[in-house]
Amino acid sequence: MTIPDAGAAVYSDVTVSGVAGNAPAALAVGVNIVHSYSGDVVVDLVAPDGSTYRLKNSSGSSTPNVSTTYTVNASSEVANGTWRLKVQDVYRADTGYINSWKLTF
């Protein structure tokens, strides 16, 4: 999914089913974003109820790509439902795309 240069946020959805109860206190969010300037990128996890968890702020980093696993305390969220990765490029001149992402319960 292409991330527009200094444009609107894009969303990538994952539907979770068959998990009893709430998400864990240490929900692992694996992210692989290809972008020529990682400092341009803001990344959020959006829970099924619309709650947003900031994974990465924009920064001055000129390092390419965002390939890491974040840990989120999502224990107040029901596990089943549609989870969204929200990604936005907040500065001009560099572009990228969401390569992949996953939740590990």
Gap between the Cα atoms of 79 and 12, Å rounded: 17
- Mean pLDDT score across all residues of the chain: 96
What is d(CA 87, CA 11) in angstroms, rounded to the nearest whole number?
A: 7
53 has pLDDT over 90: yes
Q: Which bin fits 65, alpha (ψ -120 to 50), beta or left (φ > 0)?
A: left
Q: What is the pLDDT of residue 96?
A: 95
What is the C-alpha to C-alpha distance for residues 72 and 22, in angstroms, rounded to an integer?
A: 13
Structure confidence at residue 61 as a pLDDT band (50, 70, 90): confident
**Residue 40 — φ and ψ, nearest 5°?**
-75, -15
Sort residue 90 into left (φ over 0), alpha (ψ -120 to 50) or beta. alpha
